[in-house]
Every structure is written in C-alpha cells, then in structure tokens.
C-alpha cells in the first residue's frame, strides 16, 4: 500500500495500491480502481508500507515514518454547500427566535418596572387620600 501525505502537515491525502511517474506528475491508483495524478513538485510524500489499518482514512489521519498513523486533530470534515446553507439558516432562525423572546421579556420587565414605580409614587403621594 502507498500512503501519500501532504508534506506541510503530514496529513494523508490519498491511499494507493500503485503509482507511476507520468509526464505531468505521479499517477496513483486506489484499491477501488480510481486513478488520479498528483503533482510531482515536492508537496507530497509517498511511503510504501505493508498494510494500512482499515480505520485509516485520508484527511482523518496523519502518517510519518517515525510516528506511524496518528489521528489528525486539525481535520474538519467537508460539508456540502447546500447542507452548510441549511445549517446556517437553522442557526439564523434560532437566533431570531431567541431575540424575539428577549424582546418580549424586556417589554414584560419594562411594564413590571413601570407598575412598581407607579406604586412607589402612589405610596409617596399618600395613596391619593384627602385630608
């Protein structure tokens, strides 16, 4: 198995079973038959190793010769734009609802304060009793 990592951060970019040098880079082939060409510009490192554990997935793990496979703590899964837009719409809706509740509570607090102030003024003024 060939593990291809990003030279900058050691994250696994691709897992391949075969590689060939071609005119415009390195042609790699995955176990499922998918092929792609990665640039041969020094930005990727290729490691020919025996067996890759089944749990290791590109992006989710890093690989170095000294450290082997380690979980990539910096990995952020890709979220399709449509799903991300839906998440943002839901967050916006929840924020609007929370703001509406705050405004409602603020108005209730204001009314309560006005009533309390009116009671204080009335008690200071003697409750409107005449002598």
Residue-level pLDDT at 104:
95
The three-state secondary structure class of 116 is: helix
Looking at the chain, the whole-number percentage of residues with pLDDT higher than 70 is 96
Q: Does position 128 have pLDDT exceeding 80, yes or no?
A: no
Quote the CA–CA distance of 33 and 59 in Å, as a whole number. 20
Do 2 and 17 meet the contact criterion of CB atoms below 8 Å apart?
Answer: yes
């Amino acid at each position: 198995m060939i593990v291809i990592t990003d030279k900058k951060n050691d994250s696994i970019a691709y897992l391949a079973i075969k590689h060939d040098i071609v005119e415009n880079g390195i042609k790699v082939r995955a176990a499922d038959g998918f092929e792609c060409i990665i640039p041969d510009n020094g930005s990727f490192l290729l490691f020919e190793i025996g067996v890759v554990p089944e749990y290791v997935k590109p992006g989710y793990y890093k690989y170095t010769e000294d450290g082997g496979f380690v979980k990539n703590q910096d990995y952020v899964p890709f979220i399709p734009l449509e799903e991300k837009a839906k998440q943002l719409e839901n967050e916006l809706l929840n924020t609007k609802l929370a703001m509406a509740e705050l405004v409602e509570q603020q108005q209730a607090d204001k009314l309560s304060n006005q009533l309390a102030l009116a009671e204080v003024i009335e008690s200071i003024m003697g409750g409107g009793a005449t002598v």
